[in-house]
Each structure stands twice: as structure tokens, then as C-alpha cells.
């Protein structure tokens, strides 16, 4: 669905993207991860045809984002981070306007409206002025806008930023429901969220792709072992499971040897067992590798 | 065409729903009525309809210099500032369609200024007057042409900045310069004065109010409108060159 090759973007002397290449297969939900300023939004803006790259190329559904930007824009539903909307319009009026702009046939507009209003739980707010909506409600209107023409690709820039925890869960489940029929590329810097919603992740750091893998590969890869020990008195008085000293080991053998040494030294073994690798571990390892040591 | 119409209607509605538009229009109408009652009517001896038409057209043309830049200042600058331009440009819409829609929406509201001229003449008829409708039509056409040029200039000013107040200020300066420069050039700079006077929009309005329809003037107004809209489109496209 998305093919990006050697994409670069310069703003004057500043290089925002430096030879970025990646591929997104149809039907996948891909998390585009990176710290603030890593180049996530610039990449998404190029893919959504808002701006062209300085070098390299990107295709969406086989169409070049520069030479066939009209075709690309018909294929995508894009939601920018700040969700800019017309505050003077009512929700239903705005969505109807966007549907017409995106070429939804006149006789299908009403059905499309009802579909996205229901998908994004906007039934009670359909007649509200957009300027009177809360941040979370505006976010849902932005999502409904991105979905109104039933696009093949959804590009969502920080779709849950500023939302309450329950609203985050709602948006996550909506994105999960879209998987399969739609390809979703969503940027975020909230790693557990990407782990929960995405099938694949691409990590960008300082304008370069630092990793591109599937969530299953990250979490199902080689395990580590954790050993937690504490001084006898401290453990008895507090009884806290998080107390003591935690160490991580690459093999079960190393972990058990360490545990045995600690026990023979008179300490209490609080915990020993396998630990799943998380996306956070991968993120920290690839980002840390690229942070120059002083 | 469908997208252009959708965008233009949205733009027109945004102007119509904005209280600022009606404040501006109210002030302009009040000023025009005051000038008419206290200056034009007494000077015409309360009977010279040709004089009323000529003065009415000139007053409306001058009011447009103030009204239209203030009307158009938010068209693109505000979309840029609020980020809604990103939403528009990532939908399957071309840059020139956005600029043209902004122009059409504002021009539709500006019509509430230049359509005042035939309205004033209707009032004259209701008071027992019998105006010559040829000059009324030609003067209205010239005012519409002038409004077109000033609206395009205002949209261009709005496309050049993120700040709508700056856009309004820039639009006022450009409009004032475009309308009055031919009359401000010293008389000893004859060649320059001749060149600029061929594009003197106020002169064109005056000629039209006498019933003269010069196709060169019409062509000039359409060309200037298209030229300014072209520059506004290029300014919008400038995000691609950064």
C-alpha cells in the first residue's frame, strides 16, 4: 500500500528526513514511532500530499505522491495531530461538506454520514457547533472526517493525543476494528498504545528509520529473565512486591545462578521468572544505540 | 466543478455567518446613505439623476477600497493560522480551486456593495425619477469589475501571510495603491501618468456611469483579477518549494 524510498526533506539547512525507506503492506495497522522532532509528522505530510519531499519518492496504492497526488488523496483519510476543524460549522454540516469535497456521490452522502457518526459515537453531538466540542469530541470528528469516504489508507497523526483514558480505549478499539478492510498508519510516541493497536511498527529517529518490525516479533522474540531479591528484614516489614533489587538476565541459567548466589548470601528471593520483551525495550535500544556517547 | 461549488458555498456561508461582515456592511451602508442624503442629493438639486448615478458609483467604488480588503483578509491567512488549510490541501482539491472558491465566496458578499447602485436607482424611480437604465447597467458592471479586481487583490494579500490583520493591512495598502496611484503621479511624469491612467479603475467607473462601455476596460479588469488569483495560487503552492 505504501512504498517509501530514500525520502529526504530539508527545511533550509535543517534535515528533517534523511533517506527514509519503508514499506507498509495492505491491511496492516502500522505504528510510526519516534520522539518529538524525529520526523514523523513530516513523513505523514509527504504521504498525505501536503508537501513534496526534497528527494526520494513515496507511492500510495501505486500512485506517486507528487505526480499523482489527486489519486493519492482520494485513497487516503488523513487526520493531522491538532485536528483543525471549522468551529463555526455544526458536526453534521462539516462532515457533509467534507464528504462532498472528497467526491462521495450525492446519493451516498447521507449513508456515509450515518456510518461515521455511528462509528465515532457522535450521535449526541451531530447538531453541536464544533467550537463547543471538547478535545476528545473534536478528535472523534476528525476521525469521522478521515473515514467519511471509506478510504483504503488511514493516516493518523497522534490520534489519541489529549484524550482521556476511556476515550483512548475507544479510539484504539475503533482502529482495531478498521484493520483488515483498511490499512492504517498511525504516528504516536505512546509505546504501550502502539503495542496494543498495531500489527507492525516503524521507529524513526533523527530523520532516519531505526527499526521496522512486527509487534509479534518484538514481543515473541528472545526472552529475558528477571530476578528480584531483598534484604531479609526489609522484605518482612514491608511485604512489598516491588521492593528489593531487580536484575535482568539473558538466559535462565544465568538468572538461576544469580538467584542461588543471593540466597546463599542470606538475601530473600522475591521473584524469579521470564520477562516478555516490550516495544519500549526495542525503542530504547534502537534510540540509545544512536545517541552519541559524550 | 462540484468541488469548487462546495468550497465556494462554504466560503460564502462563513462570510455571511460572521458578525464582522455585517458590522462592516452596516458601516458601509450607513456611510453611503449619509453621503447620499447630505452631499449627493443636495448637490444634484434633488433632481439630476445622472449626477446621482455618477456620484453614487464613485462613492461605492471608494467604499469598496476599504470594505473588500477587510472582508478578504481572513480567507487564506486564517486557514493557514488555524491549520484548516492542511485539511483542505490533503483532500482531493487543487490549489487553484481553493483560491477560486475563496474569491467567489468573498465576491458574492462584495455584491452586497456594488448591487447598491441599481438599488439606489430603484429608490429614485419610487420617488418619481426616470433614470436612463443603460448607464445604470454599465456603471454596475464597472463596479462589479472593480470589486473583482479588489477581491482578487485581497485574496492575494491573505495568501501572503499567516496573520489576518497583516493581510488586511497589506490588502488596504495594495488596493489603495492600485486605485489611486494613477491619480497620485506628478503631472510632469507624463509617460508614467499615461501608462497608469489606462488602468485607472476610478476613471473607468466614471466613464461607465456616463454610459460608456469600453471592452478594453472590461478586459483589463478580468485580466487583473485573473493575474492576482494566479499569484495567490502560486503563493499557496509555495509550501512545496520550501
Domain boundaries of chain B, sorted by first residue? 2-240
| Residue bearing cell 495560487 | B233
Closest CB to B239 among A51, A86, A101: A51
Mean pLDDT, chain A, integer: 84
Question: Is residue B152 within 8 Å of B232, Cβ to Cβ?
Answer: yes
Closest CB to B89 among A50, A74, A82: A50
Mutate to test the interface with B, among A84, A85, A107 (most CBs of B within 10 A): A84
Q: Nearest CA of chain A to the CA of B130: how many Å?
A: 45
pLDDT of B141 reads 92
Complete DSSP assignment for A97-156: HHHHHTT--GGGHHHHHHHHHHHTT-GGGTTSBGGGS-HHHHHHHHHHHHHTT--SEEEE
Residues of A in contact with B3 (CB under 8 A): 100-101, 103
Closest CB to A101 among B93, B239, B242: B93
How is residue B157 written as a grid cell? 494579500
| Residue contact A145–B87, C-beta within 8 A | yes
Q: Nearest CA of chain A to the CA of B21: how many Å?
A: 14
pLDDT of A218 reads 73
Between CA A251 and CA A51 the distance in angstroms is 48
Inform me whether the pLDDT recorded for A280 exceeds 80: no
How many helices and strands in chain B, by DSSP H and E?
Answer: 13, 0
Task: Please tell me the pTM assigned to this model.
Answer: 0.82
What are the start-end ranges of the E strands in chain B? Answer: none
The helix (H) or strand (E) run that includes residue A76 is strand A76-79
Residues of B in contact with A45 (CB under 8 A): 86
Between CA A186 and CA A201 the distance in angstroms is 9
Between CA B58 and CA B48 the distance in angstroms is 16
| Residue contact B6–A73, C-beta within 8 A | no
| Residue contact A101–B94, C-beta within 8 A | no
Residues of B in contact with A49 (CB under 8 A): 89-90
CA angle A90, A96, A98 (to 5 degrees): 100
pLDDT band at A195 (very low <50, low <70, confident <90, very high): confident
pLDDT of A213 reads 82
How is residue B100 written as a grid cell? 477560486
Q: Nearest CA of chain B to the CA of A286: how many Å?
A: 31
By CA distance, what is A51's nearest residue in B? Answer: B240
B239 interfacial to chain A (CB closer than 8 Å): yes
B93 interfacial to chain A (CB closer than 8 Å): yes
Residues of B in contact with A70 (CB under 8 A): 92, 94
Domain boundaries of chain A, sorted by first residue? 2-215, 222-276
By CA distance, what is B89's nearest residue in A? Answer: A50
Mutate to test the interface with B, among A45, A54, A93, A100 (most CBs of B within 10 A): A100
Q: Nearest CA of chain A to the CA of B102: how many Å?
A: 15
B84 interfacial to chain A (CB closer than 8 Å): yes
| Residue contact A80–B83, C-beta within 8 A | yes
Q: What is the torsional sign of CA A29, A158, A113, A48?
A: negative
| Residue contact B14–A101, C-beta within 8 A | no
Residues of A in contact with B89 (CB under 8 A): 49-50
Residue pLDDT, tens place only, A92-145 = 999 999 999 998 988 999 999 999 999 888 889 999 999 999 888 888 899 899
Question: Is residue B178 within 8 Å of B65, Cβ to Cβ?
Answer: no
- Give domain A2-215's CATH superfamily: P-loop containing nucleotide triphosphate hydrolases (3.40.50.300)
Give, as one character, the DSSP assignment of residue B92.
S
Q: Nearest Cα to B43, choosing from B29, B57, B54?
A: B54
How is residue A202 written as a grid cell? 516503524
By CA distance, what is A151's nearest residue in B? Answer: B91
Q: Nearest CA of chain B to the CA of A85: how many Å?
A: 6
The answer for residues whose C-beta is within 8 angstroms of residue A3's C-beta and 6 or more apart is A23, A24, A58, A59
Question: Is residue A184 within 8 Å of A178, Cβ to Cβ?
Answer: yes
Between CA B203 and CA B217 the distance in angstroms is 10
pLDDT of B152 reads 96
Q: What region does B104 belong to: left with phi over 0, alpha with psi -120 to 50, or beta?
A: alpha
Residues of A in contact with B238 (CB under 8 A): none
CB count within 10 Å of CB A288 equals 10
Between CA A85 and CA A130 the distance in angstroms is 7
| Residue contact A74–B92, C-beta within 8 A | yes
Residues 200-229 of chain A whose Cβ lies under 8 A from any Cβ of chain B? none
Closest CB to B6 among A49, A76, A100: A100
Q: Measured in whole angstroms, how far is the alpha carbon of residue B10 from the centre of its chain? A: 20
How is residue A212 written as a grid cell? 521496522
Count of alpha carbons within 13 angstroms of residue B12, beta-carbon side? 16
Question: Is residue A116 within 8 Å of A178, Cβ to Cβ?
Answer: no
Question: Is residue A67 within 8 Å of A59, Cβ to Cβ?
Answer: no
Question: Is residue B106 within 8 Å of B68, Cβ to Cβ?
Answer: yes
Between CA B144 and CA B185 the distance in angstroms is 26
Where chain B has pLDDT below 70, the residues are 1, 44-47, 241-242
Between CA A194 and CA A278 the distance in angstroms is 11
Q: Nearest Cα to B236, choosing from B163, B158, B138, B180?
A: B158
Amino acid at each position: 500500500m505504501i512504498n517509501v524510498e530514500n525520502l529526504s526533506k530539508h527545511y533550509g539547512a535543517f534535515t528533517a528526513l534523511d533517506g527514509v525507506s519503508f514499506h507498509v503492506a495492505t491491511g496492516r495497522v502500522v505504528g510510526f514511532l519516534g520522539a518529538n522532532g524525529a520526523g514523523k509528522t513530516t513523513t505523514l505530510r509527504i504521504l498525505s500530499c501536503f508537501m513534496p519531499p526534497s528527494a526520494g519518492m513515496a507511492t500510495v496504492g501505486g500512485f506517486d505522491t507528487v505526480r499523482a497526488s489527486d489519486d493519492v488523496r482520494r485513497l487516503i483519510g488523513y487526520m493531522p495531530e491538532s485536528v483543525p476543524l471549522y468551529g463555526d460549522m455544526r458536526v453534521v454540516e462539516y462532515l457533509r461538506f467534507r464528504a462532498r469535497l472528497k467526491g462521495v456521490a450525492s446519493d451516498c452522502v447521507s449513508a456515509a454520514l450515518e456510518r461515521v457518526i455511528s462509528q465515532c459515537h457522535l450521535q449526541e453531538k451531530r447538531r453541536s457547533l464544533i467550537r463547543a466540542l471538547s478535545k476528545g469530541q473534536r478528535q472523534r470528528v476528525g476521525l469521522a472526517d478521515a473515514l467519511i469516504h471509506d478510504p483504503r489508507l488511514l493516516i493518523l497523526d497522534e490520534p489519541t493525543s489529549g484524550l482521556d483514558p476511556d476515550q483512548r480505549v475507544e479510539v484504539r478499539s475503533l482502529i482495531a476494528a478498521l484493520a483488515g478492510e483498511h490499512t492504517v498508519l498511525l504516528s504516536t510516541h505512546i509505546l504501550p498504545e502502539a503495542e496494543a493497536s498495531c500489527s507492525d511498527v516503524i521507529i524513526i529517529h533523527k530523520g532516519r528509520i531505526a527499526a521496522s518490525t512486527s509487534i509479534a516479533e518484538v514481543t515473541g522474540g528472545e526472552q529475558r529473565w528477571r530476578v528480584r531479591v531483598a534484604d531479609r528484614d526489609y522484605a518482612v516489614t514491608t511485604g512489598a512486591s516491588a521492593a528489593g533489587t531487580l536484575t535482568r538476565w539473558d538466559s535462565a541459567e544465568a538468572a538461576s545462578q544469580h538467584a542461588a548466589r543471593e540466597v546463599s548470601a542470606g538475601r530473600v528471593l522475591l521473584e524469579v521468572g521470564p520477562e516478555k520483551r516490550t516495544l519500549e525495550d526495542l525503542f530504547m535500544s534502537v534510540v540509545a544505540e544512536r545517541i552519541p556517547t559524550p | 466543478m462540484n468541488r469548487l461549488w462546495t468550497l465556494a458555498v462554504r466560503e460564502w456561508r462563513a462570510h455571511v455567518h460572521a458578525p464582522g461582515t455585517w458590522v462592516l456592511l452596516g458601516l458601509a451602508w450607513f456611510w453611503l446613505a449619509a453621503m447620499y442624503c447630505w452631499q449627493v442629493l443636495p448637490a444634484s438639486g434633488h433632481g439630476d439623476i445622472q449626477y446621482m448615478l455618477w456620484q453614487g458609483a464613485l462613492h461605492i467604488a471608494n467604499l469598496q477600497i476599504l470594505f473588500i480588503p477587510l472582508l478578504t483578509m481572513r480567507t487564506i491567512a486564517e486557514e493557514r493560522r488555524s491549520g484548516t488549510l492542511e485539511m483542505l490541501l490533503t483532500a482531493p482539491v487543487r490549489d487553484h480551486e481553493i483560491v477560486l472558491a475563496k474569491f467567489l465566496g468573498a465576491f458574492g458578499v462584495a455584491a452586497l456593495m456594488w448591487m447598491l447602485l441599481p438599488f439606489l436607482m430603484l429608490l429614485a424611480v419610487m420617488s418619481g425619477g426616470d433614470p436612463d437604465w443603460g448607464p445604470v447597467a454599465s456603471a454596475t458592471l464597472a463596479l462589479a469589475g472593480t470589486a473583482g479586481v479588489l477581491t482578487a487583490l485581497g485574496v492575494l494579500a491573505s495568501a501572503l501571510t499567516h496573520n489576518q490583520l497583516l493581510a488586511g493591512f497589506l490588502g488596504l495598502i495594495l488596493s489603495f495603491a492600485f486605485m489611486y496611484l494613477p491619480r497620485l503621479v506628478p503631472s510632469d511624469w507624463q509617460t508614467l501618468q499615461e501608462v497608469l491612467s489606462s488602468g485607472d479603475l476610478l476613471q473607468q467607473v466614471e466613464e461607465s456611469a456616463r454610459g460608456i462601455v469600453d471592452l478594453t476596460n472590461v478586459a483589463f479588469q478580468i485580466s487583473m483579477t485573473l493575474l492576482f488569483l494566479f499569484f495567490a495560487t502560486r503563493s499557496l503552492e509555495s509550501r512545496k518549494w520550501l
